[in-house]
């Protein structure tokens, strides 16, 4: 019995909600996990969150909550997103999990006893944003990038990991394991870094409290990266070590390809088989990041469906390279490949099988050279797709498959089945064409099931299967096997996107990024007496849930705690706010406003918001320590 395929993503910091960068990494892992299951392997896929460290401690302090409370809030965004997207991880690990804390302390102690960890003093520069000490050389790089303000001078007592002792062993290991880091050009960067010399690594801090204490010396907490990397160990089920594939962004390759294997060597453990470093999704020339205000959230794209986003990620990004994101490119790709491309081919094929053969897939008794060429091409495309996907290159795999789908379009044009159908003498030729198209679609459903689970299942079912495509394995699959049953009605696989309409909405920037609003100050309204004013019941509310009202780009349905009770309130703020941005916000509610129906939903109350000339809402927010139910007067 081969060992289960163990696959990991980085664990994400809890200082931000997930954006499409984090989503991309997790989708890539999920696609690979599903692919390996269809190869008949048992797969463990681990993801989670990295919750300790100074940044979280500070962000929580600024909001007057504990770091754990802050972490819980952000973690929910991740777990809910992954659930909504149907990710197939077996565990969502948090570095605040008890078993993880125990694991980190145990390993720290073991390496301390062994002499690989020792106590000394660190003096030098520290990057607050990276939570890492930096060498002179790295400091110069940061200065060149204008990031020097993130550096501080530090002198502190610290525990060191004897990284320098592992330089030669690492280089030897790299030499003997050419598959250890992919892609190769990144592996070369890693080798050069290690060849340039490794210094011992400080792995504890006394300046922070939010972390795992050093066992027996509790004024030290364990450095976030030592803590974080060990999640892969904590989360590994008994029979699965070492990881077969660890997916990371290129930003954190050094930690995974240098520090992490050195820790494992020190612990006397096997090293992961492959660290796969992918590139970045860029906006223009820049990395997507909250501080640059150029972040695209998955919510914005998931309106087009989970599979659409997964397909776009896999089709567009060549693993290892950077890729510019654009809404237009996103929609063009989906329209071309899913609405046209595959969608079109499937609906044409199914309607022809219905129209000409009553839904029963014919057997190809006689094939002419063109039919045979198409059938043979499938025999090549299928294993080629599997090979590329096995090498984690879904970009290339999908390219090969879609080139074949385009060739099939040409095949239909040449064969002209609508003409063949007019004369029974052409029956054998028409049978061959229909059978070839059917087989190609059936193979496609199987191949794309790990990339687009729902779409593949719809296609699989409409081809007459009553099984789950995801439970079918590639091995031994008969590409020329007979059809299982009659085909179903052609259902559109993917709804064409109205690009112009969508562009208007999508291009509306996130609230943080909008230009300063202009305002012609409106005239003062008529005077009211105090009694009239106090009739209005204004109180503090807290938004507990928020979701878009289907078919409306403006309305958001919220559940708001107003102290007395929880209310459903529908607000026209959807163009200015994402539902996820509204969660846990304190707002001011007009609580005694007569209820009214908005798109069939009864809204009981209203949120106070300021408004500019363009009627863009700006929610009024009470001070952070106000409580739901407080009267506003």
The residue (of 208 and 350) whose beta carbon lies closer to ligand ME8 is 208
Query: Considering the rule CB under 6 A, would residue 32 count as an interface residue with ligand ME8?
Result: no
Query: Considering the rule CB under 6 A, would residue 288 count as an interface residue with ligand ME8?
Result: yes
| Stretch binding ligand ME8 (CB under 6 A), from 19-27, 237-245, 340-348, 370-378 | 19-27
Q: Considering only CA atoms, which of 110, 91, 6, 81 is closest in space to residue 48?
A: 91
x-or-dash string of contact with ligand ME8, 542-581, rule CB under 6 A = ----------------------------------------
The residue (of 235 and 628) whose beta carbon lies closer to ligand ME8 is 235
The residue (of 279 and 572) whose beta carbon lies closer to ligand ME8 is 279
Cα dihedral 113→170→9→335 (10° resolution): 170
Query: Considering the rule CB under 6 A, would residue 12 count as an interface residue with ligand ME8?
Result: yes
Query: Considering the rule CB under 6 A, would residue 320 count as an interface residue with ligand ME8?
Result: no
* DSSP label at residue 208: -
Query: Considering the rule CB under 6 A, would residue 50 count as an interface residue with ligand ME8?
Result: yes
Query: Considering the rule CB under 6 A, would residue 275 count as an interface residue with ligand ME8?
Result: no
Query: Considering the rule CB under 6 A, would residue 263 count as an interface residue with ligand ME8?
Result: no
| Stretch binding ligand ME8 (CB under 6 A), from 7-15, 391-399, 431-439, 579-587 | 7-15
Contacts of 388 (CB under 8 A, 6+ apart): 394, 396, 397, 400
Member of 21, 541, 572, 628 binding ligand ME8 (CB under 6 A):
21
Q: Considering only CA atoms, which of 299, 305, 306 is closest in space to residue 34?
A: 306
Query: Considering the rule CB under 6 A, would residue 229 count as an interface residue with ligand ME8?
Result: yes
Q: Considering only CA atoms, which of 174, 170, 136 is closest in space to residue 153?
A: 136
- Dist. CA 505–CA 130, nearest whole Å: 35
Q: How far is CA 67 from CA 51, 60, 62, 437, 473, in A?
A: 8, 5, 10, 57, 45
Nearest distance, CB of residue 11 and ligand ME8, angstroms: 5
> How many residues touch ligand ME8 (CB under 6 A)?
20
Nearest distance, CB of residue 229 and ligand ME8, angstroms: 5
Nearest distance, CB of residue 251 and ligand ME8, angstroms: 5
The residue (of 51 and 581) whose beta carbon lies closer to ligand ME8 is 51
Member of 252, 503, 544, 632 binding ligand ME8 (CB under 6 A):
252
- Dist. CA 60–CA 54, nearest whole Å: 10
- Dist. CA 87–CA 77, nearest whole Å: 14
Nearest distance, CB of residue 580 and ligand ME8, angstroms: 16
With DSSP H G I counted as helix, E B as strand and the rest as coil, what are the percentages for the chain, rounded to 5? 45, 20, 35
- Dist. CA 377–CA 440, nearest whole Å: 10
The residue (of 265 and 606) whose beta carbon lies closer to ligand ME8 is 265
Query: Considering the rule CB under 6 A, would residue 24 count as an interface residue with ligand ME8?
Result: yes
| Assigned token pair, 105 | 């302390």
The kind and range of the H/E element at 117 are strand 117-127
For 275-303, what is the HEC assignment?
EEEECCEEECCEECCHHHCCCCCHHHHHC
Q: Considering only CA atoms, which of 440, 438, 434, 470 is closest in space to residue 455?
A: 470
| Assigned token pair, 377 | 């091409």
Query: Considering the rule CB under 6 A, would residue 300 count as an interface residue with ligand ME8?
Result: no
Member of 17, 22, 34, 55 binding ligand ME8 (CB under 6 A):
22
Query: Considering the rule CB under 6 A, would residue 31 count as an interface residue with ligand ME8?
Result: no
Length of the chain: 633
Nearest distance, CB of residue 470 and ligand ME8, angstroms: 25
Nearest distance, CB of residue 295 and ligand ME8, angstroms: 9
List residues binding ligand ME8 (CB under 6 A): 10-13, 21-22, 24-25, 50, 228-229, 231, 248-249, 251-252, 280-281, 287-288
């Amino acid at each position: 019995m081969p060992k289960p395929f163990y696959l990991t993503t980085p664990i994400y910091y809890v200082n931000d909600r997930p954006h499409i960068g984090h989503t991309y990494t997790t989708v890539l892992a999920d696609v690979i996990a599903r692919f390996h299951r269809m190869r008949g392997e048992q797969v463990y896929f681990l993801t989670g969150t990295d919750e300790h460290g100074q940044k979280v401690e500070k962000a929580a302090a600024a909001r007057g909550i504990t770091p754990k409370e802050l972490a819980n809030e952000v973690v929910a965004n991740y777990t809910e997103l992954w659930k909504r997207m149907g990710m197939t991880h077996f565990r969502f690990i948090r570095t605040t999990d008890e078993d993880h804390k125990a694991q980190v302390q145990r390993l720290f102690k073991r390496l301390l006893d062994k002499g690989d960890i020792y106590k000394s003093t660190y003096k030098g520069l520290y990057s607050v944003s990276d939570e890492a000490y930096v060498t002179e050389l790295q400091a110069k790089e940061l200065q060149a990038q204008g990031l020097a303000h993130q550096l501080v001078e530090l002198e502190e007592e610290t525990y060191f990991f004897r990284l320098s002792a592992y330089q030669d062993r690492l280089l030897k290991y790299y030499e003997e394991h050419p598959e250890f880091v992919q892609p190769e050009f990144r592996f070369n960067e890693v080798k050069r870094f290690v060849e340039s010399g490794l210094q011992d690594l400080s792995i504890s801090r006394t300046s922070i409290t939010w972390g795992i204490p050093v066992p027996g010396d509790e004024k030290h907490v364990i450095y976030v990266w030592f803590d974080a990397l060990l999640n892969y160990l904590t989360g590994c089920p008994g029979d699965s070590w070492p990881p077969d594939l660890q997916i990371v962004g290129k930003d954190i390759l050094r930690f995974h390809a240098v520090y992490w294997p050195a820790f494992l060597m020190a612990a006397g453990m096997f090293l992961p088989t492959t660290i796969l470093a992918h590139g970045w999704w860029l906006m223009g020339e820049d990395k997507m990041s909250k501080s640059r205000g150029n972040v695209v959230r998955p919510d914005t794209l998931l309106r087009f469906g989970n599979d659409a986003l997964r397909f776009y990620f896999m089709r567009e990004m060549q693993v290892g390279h950077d890729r510019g994101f654009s809404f237009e490119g996103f929609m063009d790709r989906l329209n071309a490949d899913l609405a046209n491309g595959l969608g079109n081919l499937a609906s044409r094929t199914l309607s022809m099988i219905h129209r000409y053969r009553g839904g029963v897939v014919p057997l190809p008794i006689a094939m002419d050279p063109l039919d045979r060429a198409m059938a043979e091409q499938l025999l090549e495309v299928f294993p080629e797709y599997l090979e590329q996907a096995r090498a984690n290159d879904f970009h290339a795999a999908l390219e090969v498959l879609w080139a074949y789908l385009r060739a099939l379009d040409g095949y239909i044009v040449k064969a002209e089945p609508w003409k063949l159908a007019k004369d029974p003498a052409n029956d054998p030729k028409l049978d061959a064409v229909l059978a070839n198209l059917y087989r190609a679609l059936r193979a496609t459903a199987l191949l794309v099931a790990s990339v687009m689970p729902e779409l593949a299942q719809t296609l699989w079912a409409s081809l007459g299967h009553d099984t789950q495509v995801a439970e079918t394995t590639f091995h031994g699959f008969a590409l020329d096997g007979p059809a299982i049953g009659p085909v179903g009605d052609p259902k559109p696989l993917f709804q064409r996107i109205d690009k112009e309409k969508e562009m208007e909405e999508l291009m509306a920037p996130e609230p943080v990024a909008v230009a300063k609003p202009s305002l012609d100050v409106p005239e003062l309204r008529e005077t009211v007496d105090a009694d009239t004013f106090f009739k209005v019941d204004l109180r503090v509310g807290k938004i507990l849930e928020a979701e878009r009202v289907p078919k409306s780009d403006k309305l958001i349905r919220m559940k708001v705690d107003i102290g007395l009770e929880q209310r459903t309130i529908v607000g026209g703020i959807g163009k200015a706010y994402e539902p996820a941005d509204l969660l846990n916000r304190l707002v001011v509610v007009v609580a005694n406003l007569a209820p009214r129906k908005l798109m069939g939903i009864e809204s009981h109350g209203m949120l106070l918001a300021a408004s500019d000339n363009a009627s863009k809402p700006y929610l009024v927010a009470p001070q952070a320590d106000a409580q739901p139910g407080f009267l506003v007067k």
